[in-house]
């Protein structure tokens, strides 16, 4: 085995963790801008198209449930390799224009793999850097948003410029993931893994940690509540491209929709980079409350004005304000239980996944019964509930009423 000092081991492990986070962000986000093509390819209605989101979210819930049981007992380094390898195979299957049932099954499996990889990368970075996790987790998110920015442009390049089928994007994503997994395997076999800053205390104590115990923590419970409301409000951003396409496919062409999606993704990159500085000046819970309200205003303005350029502007601004929200929520989880980072993140994420299974189909049914525009307005107002859970439920560390198991 080649000799590397501890700092080099840490840098290499971090680099591969960053790669996986970037690669899965590209793979997950190609779907968002491909939705109109997928709906057309399989001939589904708006309500029927909910089955795609349901399949992905069921996969998300299943894996998060398993994570709460085994999360911090598995070697995260080797786990990442296994997840990445299987993920690359599934993406290649999806890249061959599969049957409806196979595509649905693939979404279920990639839903599991993507979320598990997401949680594992985040928890591994938290374990590697301990109390210094803030900066490195922010970089993790910056890479995720860069991948999100590249995804719609990849679709535009392959479909409009090169004249390829919509599912070619999955082939490119699968190849990217597969190449990275090969080099990561070489790393695992030839370089000693770095020691983590956060140590799991004892095997016996670890076995006593479960979802029920975690939910007894007031702050974890309030974060779960925040995610429940957020699962409904996120319908707005997840369905925006499809909404614009169905509103006016000429006014909002593939290129225009790609530009709007890119503006939002660039905003997320900017926002996640800014959060590295913001986190030094403002606590994560205060930041989340602020970004929820500001994003609500910008998104509402976008619906009211409904112009291509203004949509791009509001998507950029709301994304720039909220670019650090995922990092902030994750940091709050890790602060509560740093030695059980995967379990804490998984419990909160499980709440989000379960709610997402019903949120999208319910709002799509509302859209079919009334109008897509009304459903978009309706989803926005769940943001107020998400804000209230943090304002009245979350108690900052050090407060006299703070209660931690």
Segment 351-401, tens digit of pLDDT: 877 887 788 889 989 998 999 999 999 999 999 999 999 999 898 864 433
Q: What are phi and psi of 403, to 5 degrees?
A: -125, 120
CATH 1.20.1250.20 fits 6-194+206-393, yes or no: yes
User: Which whole-number Å values give the CA distances from 105 to 32, 86, 90, 248, 365, in the listed order?
Assistant: 18, 14, 10, 31, 23
Side-chain-facing half-sphere of 253: CA atoms under 13 Å: 6
The mean pLDDT value for 303-307 works out to 91
CA distance 13 to 80: 11
pLDDT digits (tens, 9 = 90+) for 58-72: 777 777 777 666 655
Side-chain-facing half-sphere of 84: CA atoms under 13 Å: 28
User: Which whole-number Å values give the CA distances from 255 to 35, 153, 159, 240, 372, in the listed order?
Assistant: 14, 9, 10, 15, 22
Q: Where are the domains of the chain?
A: 6-194+206-393
Which segments of 157-253 does DSSP mark as H helices, in order?
Answer: 168-190, 203-208, 211-215, 218-233, 235-247
How much is the pTM?
Answer: 0.70
Instruction: Look at residue 28 and tell me whether its pLDDT is greater than 70.
Output: yes
110 versus 290: the higher-pLDDT residue is 290
Q: And the tokens for 242?
A: 């499809």
For position 400, what pLDDT does the model report? 32
CA distance 388 to 236: 19
């Amino acid at each position: 085995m080649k000799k590397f000092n501890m700092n080099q081991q840490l840098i290499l492990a971090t680099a591969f963790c960053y790669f996986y986070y970037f690669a899965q962000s590209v793979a997950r986000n190609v779907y968002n801008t491909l939705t109109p093509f997928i709906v057309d390819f399989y001939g589904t209605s708006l309500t029927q198209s909910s089955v795609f989101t349901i399949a992905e979210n069921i996969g998300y819930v299943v894996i998060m449930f398993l994570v709460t049981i085994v999360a911090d007992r598995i070697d995260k380094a080797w786990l990442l390799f296994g997840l990445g390898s299987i993920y690359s195979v599934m993406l290649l299957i999806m890249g061959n224009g599969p049957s409806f049932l196979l595509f649905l099954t693939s979404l279920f499996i990639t839903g599991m793999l993507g979320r598990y990889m997401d949680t594992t990368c985040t928890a591994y970075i938290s374990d590697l850097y301990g109390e210094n996790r803030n900066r490195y987790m922010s970089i993790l998110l910056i890479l995720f948003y860069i991948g999100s920015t590249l995804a719609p442009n990849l679709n535009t390049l392959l479909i409009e410029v090169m004249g390829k089928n919509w599912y070619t994007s999955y082939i490119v994503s699968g190849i990217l993931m597969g190449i990275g997994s090969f080099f990561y395997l070489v790393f695992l076999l030839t370089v000693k893994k770095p020691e983590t800053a956060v140590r799991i205390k004892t095997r016996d104590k670890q076995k006593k940690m479960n979802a029920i115990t975690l939910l007894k923590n007031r702050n974890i419970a309030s974060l779960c509540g925040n995610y429940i409301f957020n699962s409904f409000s996120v319908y707005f951003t997840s369905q925006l491209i499809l909404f614009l396409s169905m509103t006016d496919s000429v006014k909002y062409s593939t290129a225009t929709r790609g530009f709007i999606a890119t503006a939002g993704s660039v905003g997320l990159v900017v926002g996640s980079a800014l959060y590295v500085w913001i986190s030094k000046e403002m606590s994560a819970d205060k930041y989340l409350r602020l970004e929820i309200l500001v994003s609500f205003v910008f998104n509402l303005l976008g619906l009211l004005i409904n112009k291509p350029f203004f949509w791009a502007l509001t998507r950029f601004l709301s994304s720039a304000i909220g670019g650090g929200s995922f990092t902030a929520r994750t940091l709050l989880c890790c602060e509560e239980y740093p030695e059980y980072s995967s379990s804490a993140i998984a419990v909160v994420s499980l709440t989000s996944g379960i709610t997402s299974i019903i949120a999208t189909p319910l709002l799509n049914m509302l859209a079919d019964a009334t109008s897509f525009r009304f459903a978009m307005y309706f989803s926005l107002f769940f943001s107020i509930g998400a804000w209230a859970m943090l304002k009245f439920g979350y108690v900052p560390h050090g407060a006299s009423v703070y209660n931690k198991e």
